[in-house]
């Protein structure tokens, strides 16, 4: 398939220009102020799928943001690849920490991206990676190199929990029928160390509200005699980890799969440099469950993290006050076999249990989902592996990731098919952070590698 390289060379500038146009639309699903823009992005994706060669493209209405569905069926007897991606992005906050505006893409060179990277919210997660698939598909259709059937399903609520997709999938099982699901929404180890993501963690996300007195009080008149909800909330949160950094919620670890010594030794073979890891985020030491390595802590082990905490007076100067309420948003990353609904219930019960009588606790579950592990003894994995071998010249390393794409477990439940995670981002691409970027090399490498997956998957099928 030599001509994929020629095709990329010829169309590189347009591939970049189109991605930049897509990145300019602020499709922030979490903030209703961007509703118009999210809808415009859905239209953009629909147009591009049509142009790239889909036979039919539909904007599927849901209770939330629309799902864009497109397909090209060339022969019912050939296998079908279902591509999933998302066109929504995380909020850009805190905007003041961006070196350039989040929705005005700029190309800059970095140490890890000497050929330049596009800086914009969504560049890597997931607009850039989703768009690679549309361009790879364009190449295959326009050069008569499409070896099988393709279905695209691009949603606009991934960053807020994929609620509408959870509604859509069970209602469209026949339409979404496929032989493998292909997703580029994860990362790889390094540009010279290709890897295939073989696991995703599950998630339980909750919000806690602690109420003390019914109104804010003078901290001199009442201080010391009533419970301060902020003090109490912090004490409760601090108690959720023990001195070895294990989570103290009773039953939390019940179903956690313990890897064998051999499996852990196999994992430890993946290239990893602790000093570089620390230097990249400017920390003096790592921190986590005792007896586990950094790579284990962020992939095969569960977590509990406060994502935000607030209450009381945070304005300028000092105000002497005992706030009536304190809040925290807490996420738990889960590993295979931990049921996210059960964990959510355990959290709620435990948090209510440990609160003193002097305060009231309310825990509101947000979203969640199951983790996922991709088997590596499948034709789909083999096809992906061969595709990387072809374009990177190296066999990719299977690696479980710490991130979550909860919808993947749901795909397996309803569509009965496995997912292959071919991610081309780097951990340093700052997804969800200020200055998110995606290497131009990575973008084009993705476009180059994807058609080989189609080819090998069809051949091996």
Give the DSSP H or E segment for 7. helix 3-23
Which of 37, 138, 185, 448 forms a contact with ligand BES (CB under 6 A)?
185
Of the candidate spans 7-15, 180-188, 225-233, 371-379, the one that interacts with ligand BES by CB under 6 A turns out to be 180-188
| Residue 29 lies near ligand BES (rule: CB under 6 A) | no
| Residue 374 lies near ligand BES (rule: CB under 6 A) | no
Best CA proximity match to 408, nearest among 381, 364, 435, 370: 370
Contacts (Cβ under 8 Å, ≥6 apart) of 220: 320
Quick one: residue 116, left, alpha or beta (phi over 0 = left, psi -120 to 50 = alpha)?
left
Sheet containing 117-119: give its strands across. Answer: 106-108, 117-119, 437-439
Of the candidate spans 50-58, 181-189, 232-240, 440-448, the one that interacts with Mn ion by CB under 5 A turns out to be 181-189
Q: Which does 161 bind (CB under 5 to 8 A by kind): ligand BES, Mn ion, none?
A: ligand BES
| Residue 401 lies near ligand BES (rule: CB under 6 A) | yes
367 or 455, CB closer to ligand BES? 367
| CB 406, min distance to ligand BES, A | 5
Supply 45's token pair. 């994706």
Which of 186, 195, 204, 293 forms a contact with ligand BES (CB under 6 A)?
186
- Angle (nearest 5°) at CA 402 between 379 and 290: 125
Which of 18, 37, 88, 126 forms a contact with Mn ion (CB under 5 A)?
126
Q: Which does 406 bind (CB under 5 to 8 A by kind): Mn ion, ligand BES, none?
A: ligand BES
54 or 409, CB closer to ligand BES? 409
Number of residues that bind ligand BES (CB under 6 A): 16
| Residue 185 lies near Mn ion (rule: CB under 5 A) | yes
Which of 212, 406, 439, 451 forms a contact with ligand BES (CB under 6 A)?
406
Q: Is 203 helix (H, G, I), strand (E, B) or coil?
A: strand
Q: Is 11 helix (H, G, I), strand (E, B) or coil?
A: helix
Pair 418, 375: CB distance under 8 Å: yes
Which of 126, 138, 436, 448 forms a contact with ligand BES (CB under 6 A)?
126
Q: Is 395 helix (H, G, I), strand (E, B) or coil?
A: coil
Pair 80, 151: CB distance under 8 Å: yes
The answer to whether the bond into 126 is cis (omega within 30° of 0) is: yes
| CB 172, min distance to ligand BES, A | 21
Residue whose pair of structure tokens reads 């920390």 in the numeric block: 283
Of the candidate spans 18-26, 101-109, 183-191, 444-452, the one that interacts with ligand BES by CB under 6 A turns out to be 183-191
| Residue 88 lies near Mn ion (rule: CB under 5 A) | no
Q: Is 21 helix (H, G, I), strand (E, B) or coil?
A: helix
126 or 157, CB closer to Mn ion? 126
Best CA proximity match to 60, nearest among 174, 221, 211, 171: 171
Site string for ligand BES, 321-360 (x = CB under 6 A): ----------------------------------------
| Residue 159 lies near ligand BES (rule: CB under 6 A) | yes
| Residue 128 lies near ligand BES (rule: CB under 6 A) | no
The torsion defined by the Cα of 442, 444, 445 and 447, in degrees rounded to 10, comes to: 120
Answer positive or negative: Cα dihedral of 343, 344, 349, 350: positive
Q: CA 439 to CA 425: how far, in whole Å?
A: 8
| CB 273, min distance to ligand BES, A | 19
Of the candidate spans 42-50, 154-162, 275-283, 290-298, the one that interacts with ligand BES by CB under 6 A turns out to be 154-162
Residues found near Mn ion in the complex (CB under 5 A)? 125-126, 185
């Amino acid at each position: 398939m030599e001509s994929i390289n020629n095709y990329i060379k010829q169309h590189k500038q347009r591939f970049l220009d189109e991605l930049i146009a897509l990145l300019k639309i602020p499709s922030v699903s979490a903030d209703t102020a961007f509703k118009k823009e999210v809808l415009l992005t859905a239209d953009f994706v629909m147009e591009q799928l049509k142009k790239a060669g889909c036979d039919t493209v539909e904007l599927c209405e849901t209770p939330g943001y629309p799902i864009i569905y497109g397909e090209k069926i060339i022969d019912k007897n050939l296998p079908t690849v279902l591509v999933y991606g998302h066109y929504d992005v995380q909020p850009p906050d805190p905007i003041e920490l961006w070196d350039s505006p989040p929705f005005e893409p700029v190309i800059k060179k970095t140490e890890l991206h000497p050929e330049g990277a596009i800086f914009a919210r969504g560049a890597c997660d997931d607009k850039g990676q989703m768009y690679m698939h549309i361009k790879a598909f364009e190449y295959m259709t326009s050069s008569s190199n499409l070896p099988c059937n393709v279905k695209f399903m691009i949603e606009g609520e991934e960053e807020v929990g994929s609620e509408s997709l959870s509604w859509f999938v069970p209602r469209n099982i026949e339409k979404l029928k496929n032989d493998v699901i292909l997703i580029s929404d994860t990362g790889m180890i390094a540009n010279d160390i290709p890897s295939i993501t073989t696991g995703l963690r599950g998630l339980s996300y909750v919000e806690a509200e602690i109420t003390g007195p019914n109104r804010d009080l003078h901290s001199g008149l009442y201080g010391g005699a009533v419970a301060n909800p902020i003090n109490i909330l912090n004490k409760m949160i601090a108690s959720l980890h023990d001195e070895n950094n294990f989570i103290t919620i009773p039953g939390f670890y019940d179903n956690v799969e313990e890897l064998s010594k051999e499996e852990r030794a196999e994992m430890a073979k993946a290239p990893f440099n602790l000093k570089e890891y620390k230097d990249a985020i400017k920390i003096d030491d790592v921190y986590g469950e005792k007896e586990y390595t950094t790579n284990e802590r962020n992939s095969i082990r569960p977590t509990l993290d406060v994502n935000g905490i607030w209450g009381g007076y945070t304005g300028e100067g000092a105000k002497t006050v005992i706030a009536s309420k304190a809040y925290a948003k807490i996420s738990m990353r889960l590993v295979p076999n931990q049921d996210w609904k059960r964990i959510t219930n355990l959290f709620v019960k435990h948090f209510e249990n440990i609160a003193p009588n002097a305060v009231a606790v309310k825990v509101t579950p947000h979203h969640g989902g199951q983790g996922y592990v991709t088997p590596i003894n499948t034709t789909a994995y083999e096809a992906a592996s061969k595709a990387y071998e072809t374009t990177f010249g190296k066999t990719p390393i299977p690696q479980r990731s710490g991130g979550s794409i909860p919808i993947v477990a749901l795909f397996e439940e309803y569509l009965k098919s496995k997912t292959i995670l071919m991610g081309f981002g780097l951990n340093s691409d700052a997804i969800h952070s200020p200055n998110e970027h995606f290497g131009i090399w990575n973008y084009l490498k993705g476009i180059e590698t994807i058609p080989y997956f189609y080819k090998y998957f069809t051949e091996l099928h």
